[in-house]
Each structure stands twice: as structure tokens, then as C-alpha cells.
């Protein structure tokens, strides 16, 4: 009679051979049975071989042949896996809900400091919670470089989520393209025929440009911080 672990291992080997045509590696067996070391797998393999259920072929890697199966294992629907009971949740625990996420292109880096060269290429993509996206417009992400917006909670290394738009209200934090050459992340203020791009750090001066020199390329709608 086989032990529960021996049955689990034999069943795992059988399923892998049926699916892939080759037996699993010792590391795969160890992970499947949740054992801490491969020595436990060696003991189980030896026990199965001594009982005549498998045969190891000499001088060949991963060479295990199933000779026979226990009668119980040949019955349809047999699975020796142990299913652990789910423990009750802690008092006051909230139910876990699936979060809708979308992948956004990361369009390089944006300066929260001195403006940098305009951004126009995708460096990689990042998953963003759907709740962070504003309306049905197009969105993209940018990596922040600099500390000019730290008092607005935007730090060097953060990723900001931007909704594409060409207009902004006073006080919005926007991606501004200055003179078609430099892009920066600043707070937007309209002053008559001039546009002020305000930092959120007293170490940086507010920059003021003629209206035609500043193009809004998007508005900040979310932020992702990594530690």
C-alpha cells in the first residue's frame, strides 16, 4: 500500500508524462509536492521503484518509466491531492474583489524640474488600475525625474498617469510642451495672454511663457509609487 505522498508523486509523474511525453524533473516534483528539498523526492522515487510501480533507466536524465498503477488510481476521476480547508477570514476582513487593470504605454521620462527634451516614444508598458483612468479618453504614463513637484506628492521615480487632452483648468497639473522642444510636469495657470507653469517646490521659480509657446499634452489623473 502506498502512502499519500507516494500516490501524489506517482499521479504527478503520470499526468506530466501524459501531457508532455517526458517525466518531470526532480525540482518540478519537489515544487508540486511542496517539499523543502529534493532528498524527499529521492526517498519517494526509491519507494515507488522498490514496490514495482516505476522503473528508473540507467545513464539517462529524467528517465522514469511507469510500470503499473494502483488499482484505485486507474478509476476515472481519481485524484490523490489533499485539499486544505479554507480558514475563516479574520474578524472585520473585507471581501477581496477583482481589480480591472489596463496596460498603458510608458512614454519615457518627464521632468519635474528643469524641462527635458520632448517625449515621443514608448519605453515599456505598465499595468494601471482601471479606476485610476479618467473618462473614455486616451491615457499614457511617464516616469518622473526631479523634485519640483514634491509638495504636490510627486516624487522622483514615481510614475504618473496622464489623460491626453489639449486644454487645462487653472490649478491642473499638466504635461506641458514648451516651444515644441521641451516637456515638463507643472501646475497650469493662465494669466491673460500668458501661461505660468508653477512648481510645487519653493526651490524652483515659476516659469511664464506666451500663450502660443505652451501646448498642453495631458492632465495628471493618477500616480504610482514604487519603494
| Residues taking part in catalysis | 148, 186
Euclidean distance between CA atoms 102 and 83, whole angstroms: 33
Euclidean distance between CA atoms 101 and 161, whole angstroms: 13
Euclidean distance between CA atoms 113 and 135, whole angstroms: 29
Where do we find the cell 489623473?
A: 221
**Stretch (H or E) spanning 127:** strand 124-129
φ/ψ of residue 195, rounded to 5: -120, 125
Euclidean distance between CA atoms 119 and 183, whole angstroms: 7
Q: Which of 130, 129, 156 is nearest to 142 (CA)?
A: 156
Euclidean distance between CA atoms 133 and 135, whole angstroms: 7
CB atoms under 10 Å from CB of 135, counted, come to 9
Burial class of residue 126, CB neighbours in 10 A (0-12, 13-18, 19+): middle
Cell of 167: 486644454
Q: What radius of gyration, in Å, describes the C-alpha atoms of the chain?
A: 30
- Coil, strand or helix: which one is 167? coil
Amino acid at each position: 500500500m502506498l502512502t499519500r505522498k507516494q500516490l501524489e508523486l506517482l499521479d504527478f509523474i503520470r499526468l506530466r508524462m501524459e501531457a508532455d511525453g517526458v517525466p518531470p524533473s526532480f525540482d518540478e516534483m519537489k515544487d508540486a509536492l511542496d517539499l523543502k528539498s529534493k532528498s524527499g523526492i529521492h526517498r519517494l522515487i526509491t519507494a515507488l521503484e522498490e514496490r514495482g510501480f516505476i522503473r528508473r533507466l540507467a545513464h539517462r536524465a529524467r528517465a522514469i518509466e511507469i510500470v503499473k498503477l494502483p488499482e484505485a488510481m486507474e478509476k476515472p476521476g481519481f485524484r490523490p491531492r489533499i485539499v486544505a480547508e479554507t480558514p475563516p477570514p479574520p474578524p472585520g476582513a473585507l471581501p477581496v474583489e477583482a481589480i480591472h487593470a489596463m496596460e498603458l504605454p510608458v512614454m519615457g521620462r518627464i521632468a519635474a524640474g528643469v524641462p527635458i527634451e520632448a517625449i515621443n516614444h514608448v519605453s515599456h508598458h505598465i499595468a494601471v488600475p482601471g479606476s485610476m483612468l479618467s473618462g473614455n479618453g486616451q491615457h499614457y504614463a511617464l516616469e518622473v525625474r526631479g523634485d519640483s513637484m514634491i509638495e504636490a506628492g510627486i516624487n522622483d521615480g514615481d510614475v504618473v498617469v496622464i489623460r491626453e487632452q489639449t486644454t487645462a483648468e487653472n490649478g491642473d497639473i499638466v504635461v506641458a510642451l514648451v516651444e515644441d522642444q521641451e516637456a515638463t510636469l507643472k501646475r497650469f495657470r493662465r494669466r491673460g495672454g500668458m501661461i505660468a507653469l508653477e512648481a510645487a517646490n519653493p526651490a524652483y521659480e515659476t516659469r511664464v511663457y506666451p500663450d502660443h509657446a505652451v501646448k498642453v499634452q495631458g492632465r495628471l489623473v493618477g500616480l504610482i509609487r514604487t519603494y
